[in-house]
Structure 1
Amino acid sequence: MAQNRSHAVMAQRTEAPDSRDDFPTPPWATRALVAHVLKDFGPFDLQSVLEPACGAGYMARPLAESFGQVLTSDIYPYGFGSVRDYLAVPYEANAVDWVITNPPFRLAEEFVLRSLIVARRGVAILARTVFIESVGRYRNLFLQHRPCRFAQFTERVPMIKGRVDRTATTATGYAWLVWSKEIKTQNPELFWIPPCRKALERDSDYSDRL
């Protein structure tokens, strides 16, 4: 069998320490968060959300379809949102209702810990399924800060460097992890996000225009 050498498959989000780690989230995957994972936390039209690793806005724009206020920033200038190092220049405590983001994988733990201070209601990150592994992450994050939900995509969420691509494929599994300030649990809820790409995807998601 020929080896699948798709860029998305081969990249596996493994980046050099000084890389921008720019792997935009297909907008349908963010709509899946609102529709299937956070549906009982809404309505969101009077709630605010911060996307602190916004890149070119591929997650922020679908969030704006539901949330009343969307704040955006990124450490690099992508022409969308303000330029701000989320970890070095912190937002005030309880500045927004939610922090929702797809953080750089190597900084995801730090992003969650910072976001738990910034958010009033909750935090959601999109991460590789293997994020829940490692003794260090268990000790530094999960032991004291248990997510209330772990929502695994049943469909693959292809991410490739620097752009979204409707035809991309991937061997990497992704999930949404949610922390709630209102729900305290020692046993996070595990569930599966049903197949929904076809229903949530739009042709305009793949436009180069912001």
Structure 2
Amino acid sequence: MTQLAALETTQTIDSQQRLREIAIDTGRRVRRSVWDNYQSGLNLIEAQTLLKGEDRFVQWLETEALPEIEISKSQAYNLINNAKRFESYFREFTEAEFVEFGKLSQTAMNLLGSPSTPEPAIAEIVSQIRSGQSINAAAARRAIEKHVSQHTAEEVQTLYAEVGVFRATAHPKMPWIFETEGYSRAFRSLDEAAEAAEGIRQTITARRQQREVATCSRCRHQSIDSDSFRCEATTTTHPINSDPGAAGCRLYKPQLPVAPFTPAPVSVLESAEELPTAPFISAPAFPPTDEFPIIGKTERVPYDFYSTPNGVVQSLLERVSIAGRVMEPCAGDGAIAKHFIDKNFADCFTNDVHVYEGFDCDCHLDAANGDSWEIFSSQGEIDWVITNPPYGNDLPIQILSHAWNHAQVGVAFLVRLSFCEPCDSRREWLQSHSDQLTHLITLNPRPKFRKDVAGGDQVTVAWMVWQKNFSWEALGVHCPFSFVNWTN
């Protein structure tokens, strides 16, 4: 007797048989091709009609369909949304005819299937498919941008012309970028770039003013060669970078001749009042009795799997506002993901390279591989990436760089505190993203990753949180985080 037995009074044997056929056929089709995923969405729409109620459909989906189909509930609704958006265009095709035309990637289909995508963008893409063109995520984004944006690329380029270069990229998530003098910022749309233009222009202009009136912090002479950072005073010629008293970056002490400017607010934080109240935090990893399973003292755990205690996760959630769709790429036994899944805190998509008993991930792919992230993104837009990654072989920075490229809002990684050391594998990434590092949350007491009768293995770890729509510089605040190789 299944959990759907209570529905037998309102359903015929024929409809129950059809629901079973739908589950089997969808399980056979899903993830095979775009056409099969489209047909899977039509199957699920038919099931919604047969069950005559969203509550009954969700019950059937969770108890009968998903175990057969082996996808998550959010993926099932993505299939439904895509089928609804494309039905009027695809219903005249047979599978053979569809294959003869151009290709449409699953990621592109998910983007076009979003409820916010204008109908003309879908019509344009279908027309391109008919003409034999292959459509990837970047092509889909360009079509959407064309029909959504209130600005043209030429208009935005004009806004930035005096201070730098604004150009298109090949990145499917961030198709536009502004670059100048060591500063760069990527944008999801022309409208977003246009909105940020004035604040960025003010920031770049202020930087130039600082260099023009730099003052030597030793002799106070107000004429510094900004290329060599050498004082030009005739009586005291000395390299400014040898002066330990210099402020800021220790090359010179800037003095602005104008009143401090107020940059345009970024999209998430409206003013300096909304800055993280304490970006450097020593957080209690409560409850203090939270410990990891007992394992051997010297034997390394396979796949670097160390389950994350509840208190460690809670320490993050109490200090950082997490909302939207969360991706956990190194889910393990689901210790982090369950905070979102069990409490309905947010939609959570999970992955782990290994299968662990007691928790079923949505995917089992290598999170250090960039191709895996294209598959993750094809299952729906990712707002946050939150994980406790394996620490060996530079895996944290490899996974972090992919996560940052695919997250729409931010990333939170539980890493050893020594991850802050700017060694070769991560120096460039850490320094280039320091302006968007909002939190460094160290845990007290140090969590025990391993213990036995001979002693424990306590490691100092911290949550490091980066957010895309945040900038210390844009708020007129000196970035408190620097990752410096002092030998250079």
- Is 1:183 aligned to residue 470 of structure 2? yes
Question: Of Structure 1 and Structure 2, which has the larger fraction of its residues in strand?
Answer: 1
SS in 2 for 1:92: helix
In 2: Cα distance, 1:137 partner to 1:148 partner:
22
SS in 2 for 1:83: coil
In 1: Cα distance, 2:337 partner to 2:297 partner:
27
- Is 1:122 aligned to residue 410 of structure 2? yes
* Structure 2 equivalent of residue 100 of structure 1: 386
Question: Of Structure 1 and Structure 2, which has the larger fraction of its residues in helix?
Answer: 2
Asked whether the equivalents of residues 9 and 169 of structure 1 are also in contact (C-alpha less than 8 Å), the reply is no
In 2: Cα distance, 1:15 partner to 1:25 partner:
17
Structure number with greater CO (CA < 8 Å, separation at least 6) is 1
* Structure 2 equivalent of residue 206 of structure 1: none
Structure 1 residues 140, 156: CA separation in 2 closer, same or farther (over 3 Å shift)? Answer: same
Of 350, 353, 360, the residue aligned with 1:80 is 360
Structure 1 residues 9, 76: CA separation in 2 closer, same or farther (over 3 Å shift)? Answer: closer
Q: TM-score, normalised by structure 2?
A: 0.32
In 2: Cα distance, 1:125 partner to 1:181 partner:
15
Structure 1 residues 30, 9: CA separation in 2 closer, same or farther (over 3 Å shift)? Answer: farther
User: For each residue in 1:35-75, what CA deviation from the matched residue of structure 2 results, as whole angstroms up to 9, or x when unmatched?
Assistant: 12x0xx35x3xx11010000111111123336320111101
Deviation at 1:184, TM superposition (A): 1.9
Structure 1 residues 145, 73: CA separation in 2 closer, same or farther (over 3 Å shift)? Answer: same
Deviation at 1:133, TM superposition (A): 1.2
User: For each residue in 1:150-195, what CA deviation from the matched residue of structure 2 results, as whole angstroms up to 9, or x when unmatched?
Assistant: 111122222239xxx9xx9543111100010111233349xxxxxx
Aligned pairs, number: 169
Structure 1 residues 110, 159: CA separation in 2 closer, same or farther (over 3 Å shift)? Answer: same
Tell me the percent identity. Answer: 25
* Structure 2 equivalent of residue 32 of structure 1: 315
1:134-173 equivalences in 2 (<5 Å): 134-146=422-434, 147-160=437-450, 169-173=456-460
* Structure 2 equivalent of residue 59 of structure 1: 336
SS in 2 for 1:187: coil
Deviation at 1:9, TM superposition (A): 10
Q: Which amino acid aligns with 1:21?
A: D
1:3-22 equivalences in 2 (<5 Å): 15=300, 19-22=302-305
Cα root mean square deviation, aligned? 3.1
Structure 1 unaligned blocks of 5 or more: 1-6, 190-210
Q: Which amino acid aligns with 2:360?
A: F
In 2: Cα distance, 1:50 partner to 1:138 partner:
22
Asked which structure has the greater CA Rg, the reply is 2
In 2: Cα distance, 1:111 partner to 1:174 partner:
17
* Structure 2 equivalent of residue 208 of structure 1: none
Q: Which amino acid aligns with 1:54?
A: A
User: For each residue in 1:130-163, what CA deviation from the matched residue of structure 2 results, as whole angstroms up to 9, or x when unmatched?
Assistant: 11114214523211122221111122222239xx
| Moved beyond 3 Å, runs of 4+ | 7-11
